[in-house]
Chain A
Amino acid sequence: MAQLIKDKQIVADTWLTLELGENDTAESIALPAGDVIFPFAVWQARKDEILARGGKIGLLIKGEDLVEEVAADIAHFAVIAVNFPKFVDGRGYSTASLLRQRYGYTGELRAVGDILHDQLFYLTRVGFDAYALRDDKSAAYAIEKGFSVFSDAYQPSTTQPQPLFRRRSA
Chain B
Amino acid sequence: MYKYDAIDRQLLDERVAQFRDQVRRWKAGELSDDEFRPLRVQNGLYIQRHAPMYRIAVPYGMLNSAQLRRLAHIARTYDRGYGHFTTRHNMQFNWPKIEDCPDIMAELAEVEMHSIQTSGNDIRNITTDQFAGVAPDEIIDPRPLAEIVRQWSMFHPEFYFLPRKFKIAISGSLDDRAVTWFHDIGLHLKVVDGEIGFTVIVGGGLGRTPIRGQVIREFLPWQHLLSYCEAILRVYNRFGRRDNAFKARIKILVQALGIEAFGEQVEAEWSHLKDGPLTLTQAEYDRIAAHFAPPAYDTAAGSGDFAEKRAADKAFARWVERNTHPHKVAGYRAVTLSLKPHGVAPGDITDQQLDLVADLADRYSFGEARVSHEQNLILADVREADLHAVWLEAKKAGLATPNIGLLTGIICCPGGDVCDLANAKSIPIAKAIQKRFDNLDYLFDIGDIELNISGCMNACGHHHVGHIGILGIDRNDAEFYQVTLGGRQGNDARLGKVIGPSFSAEEMPDVVEKIIGVYLESRHADECFLDTFDRIGIDPFKNRVYEGRAHGQAKNTERRAA
Instruction: Chain B residues near A154: list those with CB within 8 A.
Output: 151-152, 154-156
| Contact status B238-A126, CB under 8 Å | no
| Contact status A97-B277, CB under 8 Å | no
Instruction: Chain B residues near A123: list those with CB within 8 A.
Output: 157
| Contact status B35-A90, CB under 8 Å | no
Q: A154–B154 Cα gap in the complex (Å)?
A: 7
- Binary CB contact string for chain B from 6 to 21 against chain A (1 if under 8 A, 0 otherwise): 0100110011001001
- Once A102-B272, A151-B14 are accepted as A-B contacts, the answer to whether A164 and B151 lie under 8 Å apart by CB is yes
Q: A117–B25 Cα gap in the complex (Å)?
A: 11
Looking at the complex, which of A11-19, A32-40, A105-113, A155-163 is the stretch in contact with chain B?
A: A155-163
CB-nearest residue of chain B to A153: B155
**How distant is B280 from chain A, measured CB to nearest CB, in Å?**
8
Partner of A87, one of B35, B155, B276, B287: B35
- Once A89-B242, A145-B21 are accepted as A-B contacts, the answer to whether A94 and B284 lie under 8 Å apart by CB is no
Say yes or no for A77: interface residue by CB 8 A criterion: no
Say yes or no for A23: interface residue by CB 8 A criterion: no
Instruction: Chain A residues near B447: list those with CB within 8 A.
Output: none
Interface residues of A in 122-170 (CB under 8 A from B): 122-123, 125-126, 137-138, 145, 149-157, 161-166, 168-169
Partner of A122, one of B15, B157, B226: B157
| Contact status A88-B287, CB under 8 Å | no
Instruction: Chain A residues near B157: list those with CB within 8 A.
Output: 93, 121-123, 125-126, 153, 155, 157
| Contact status A156-B237, CB under 8 Å | no
Q: A32–B340 Cα gap in the complex (Å)?
A: 71
| Contact status B121-A168, CB under 8 Å | no
- Once A152-B10, A155-B152, A168-B7 are accepted as A-B contacts, the answer to whether A122 and B284 lie under 8 Å apart by CB is no
Instruction: Chain A residues near B152: list those with CB within 8 A.
Output: 154-155, 163
Looking at the complex, which of B159-167, B183-191, B192-200, B376-384 is the stretch in contact with chain A?
A: B159-167
- Once A87-B35, A93-B161, A154-B151 are accepted as A-B contacts, the answer to whether A165 and B281 lie under 8 Å apart by CB is yes
Say yes or no for B234: interface residue by CB 8 A criterion: yes
CB-nearest residue of chain A to B276: A156
Instruction: Chain B residues near A163: list those with CB within 8 A.
Output: 152, 226, 277-278
- Binary CB contact string for chain A from 76 to 94 against chain B (1 if under 8 A, 0 otherwise): 0000000000011111011
| Contact status A126-B158, CB under 8 Å | yes
Name B's interface SS. helix
Partner of B237, one of A87, A93, A145, A152: A93
Say yes or no for B283: interface residue by CB 8 A criterion: yes
Instruction: Chain B residues near A149: list those with CB within 8 A.
Output: 14, 18
| Contact status B284-A90, CB under 8 Å | no
Say yes or no for B496: interface residue by CB 8 A criterion: no
Say yes or no for A116: interface residue by CB 8 A criterion: yes
**How distant is A3 from chain B, measured CB to nearest CB, in Å?**
15
**How distant is B318 from chain A, measured CB to nearest CB, in Å?**
46
Interface residues of B in 286-323 (CB under 8 A from A): 287
Instruction: Chain A residues near B156: list those with CB within 8 A.
Output: 154-155
CB-nearest residue of chain A to B226: A163
Say yes or no for B38: interface residue by CB 8 A criterion: yes
| Contact status A168-B284, CB under 8 Å | yes
Instruction: Chain B residues near A95: list those with CB within 8 A.
Output: 238
- Once A88-B161, A90-B161, A93-B157 are accepted as A-B contacts, the answer to whether A165 and B14 lie under 8 Å apart by CB is no
Say yes or no for A118: interface residue by CB 8 A criterion: yes
- Binary CB contact string for chain A from 33 to 60 against chain B (1 if under 8 A, 0 otherwise): 0000000000000000000000000000
**How distant is B247 from chain A, measured CB to nearest CB, in Å?**
15
**How distant is A43 from chain B, measured CB to nearest CB, in Å?**
20
Q: A155–B11 Cα gap in the complex (Å)?
A: 13
**How distant is B276 from chain A, measured CB to nearest CB, in Å?**
8
Instruction: Chain A residues near B25: list those with CB within 8 A.
Output: 117
Say yes or no for B510: interface residue by CB 8 A criterion: no
Instruction: Chain A residues near B237: list those with CB within 8 A.
Output: 90-91, 93-94
| Contact status A156-B277, CB under 8 Å | yes
Q: A53–B148 Cα gap in the complex (Å)?
A: 52
Instruction: Chain B residues near A97: list those with CB within 8 A.
Output: 158, 234
**Subset of 14 A-B contacts with CB under 8 Å:** A93-B158, A94-B238, A118-B22, A118-B39, A121-B157, A151-B11, A153-B157, A154-B155, A155-B152, A155-B155, A157-B157, A162-B277, A168-B7, A168-B284
Beyond A157-B158, A168-B284, A168-B287, list 15 extra A-B contacts (CB 8 Å): A90-B162, A90-B163, A93-B159, A118-B22, A118-B39, A125-B157, A126-B158, A150-B18, A150-B155, A152-B10, A157-B157, A165-B148, A165-B280, A166-B277, A168-B5
Nearest first, the 5 A-B pairs at minimum CB distance are A90-B161, A125-B157, A165-B284, A122-B157, A169-B283
Residues of A within 8 A of B (CB): 63, 87-91, 93-95, 97, 102, 116-118, 121-123, 125-126, 137-138, 145, 149-157, 161-166, 168-169
Residues of B within 8 A of A (CB): 5, 7, 10-11, 14-15, 18, 21-22, 25, 30, 35, 38-39, 121, 148, 151-152, 154-163, 226, 234, 237-238, 242, 272, 276-278, 280-281, 283-284, 287
